[in-house]
Amino acid sequence: MGKKGILLVNLGTPDSPEVADVRRYLDQFLMDERVIDIPAFNRTLLVKGIIVPFRSPKTSKLYKEIWDENGSPLLYFSKIQAAMVQQKLGDDYHVELAMRYQRPSIPAALERMKSALVESVHVVPLFPQYASASTGSVIQNVMEIVGKWPTIPPVSFVNSFHDNKLMIETFADNARKYHPENYDQILFSFHGLPERQLIKCDHSGQHCLKKENCCASLTDVNKFCYSAQCHDTARLIAAELDIPAEKYSVCFQSRLGKEPWVQPYTSEVLKELAAQGKKRLLVFCPAFVADCLETLYEVSVEYHEEFKALGGEQVQLVASLNDHPKWIEAMVELSKN
Ligand SMILES: C=CC1=C(C)c2cc3[nH]c(cc4nc(cc5[nH]c(cc1n2)c(C)c5CCC(=O)O)C(CCC(=O)O)=C4C)c(C)c3C=C
Ligand SMILES: [Fe+2]
Ligand SMILES: [Fe+2]
**Ligand 1 atom, smallest distance to 290 CA:** 23
Q: Is 191 annotated as a binding residue?
A: yes
Supply the pLDDT for residue 26. 98
Say if residue 304 is exposed, middle or buried (CB neighbours under 10 Å; 0-12, 13-18, 19+).
buried
State the span(s) of the chain assigned CATH 3.40.50.1400: 4-161+325-336, 165-317
Q: Measure 149 CA to ligand 1 centroid, in angstroms.
A: 30
Ligand closest to Cα of 26 equals 1
Q: Cα(156)–Cα(7) distance, rounded to whole angstroms?
A: 10
- Confidence bin at 51 (pLDDT 50/70/90): very high
User: What confidence category does residue 1 fall into, taking pLDDT thresholds of 50, 70 and 90?
Assistant: confident
Q: What integer pLDDT is reported at residue 206 of this predicted model?
A: 87
Identify the pLDDT of residue 337: 77
Ligand 1 proximity of 287 Cβ (cutoff 6 Å): yes
Does the pLDDT of residue 233 top 90, yes or no? yes
Is the beta carbon of 7 within 6 A of some atom in ligand 1? no
The CB of 134 under 6 Å from ligand 1? The reply is yes
Q: What mean pLDDT is predicted for residues 115-123?
A: 98
User: Which ligand 1 atom is nearest residue 296's CA?
Assistant: 29
Does residue 86 contact residue 93 with C-beta atoms inside 8 Å? yes
Ligand 2 centroid–CA 29 distance in Å is 9
Q: Which of 256, 295, 301, 302 to mutate to test ligand 1, by most ligand atoms within 8 A of the CB atom?
A: 256
Look at residue 250 in the predicted model and tell me its pLDDT. Answer: 98
Longest dimension (CA), the chain: 63
pLDDT at 147 over 90: yes
- Contacts with 192 (C-beta within 8 Å, 6 or more apart), sequence order: 252, 253, 254, 255, 261, 262, 265
Domain 165-317: CATH architecture, name and number where available? 3-Layer(aba) Sandwich (3.40)
Amino acid at 143: M
CATH of region 4-161+325-336: 3.40.50.1400
CA 129 to ligand 1: nearest atom: 1
Distance between Cα 294 and ligand 1 center (Å): 8
- Share the mean pLDDT of the chain: 97
Which atom of ligand 1 is the closest one to the Cα of 34? 42
* pLDDT per position as a tens digit, 237-270: 999 999 999 999 999 998 998 999 999 999 999 9
104-118 average pLDDT score: 98
Nearest residue (by CA) to ligand 1, atom 19, is 11
103 lines ligand 1 (CB under 6 A): no
Give the Cα separation of 164 and 327 in Å (integer): 10
Centre of ligand 3 from the C-alpha of residue 202, in Å: 7
Predicted confidence (pLDDT) at residue 120 exceeds the cutoff of 80? yes
- Flag whether pLDDT at 330 surpasses 80: yes
The stretch 45-55 carries a mean pLDDT of 98
Q: Is there an atom of ligand 1 within 6 Å of 225 CB? A: no
Least confident residue range of 42-46, 203-207, 279-283: 203-207
**ipTM field:** 0.95
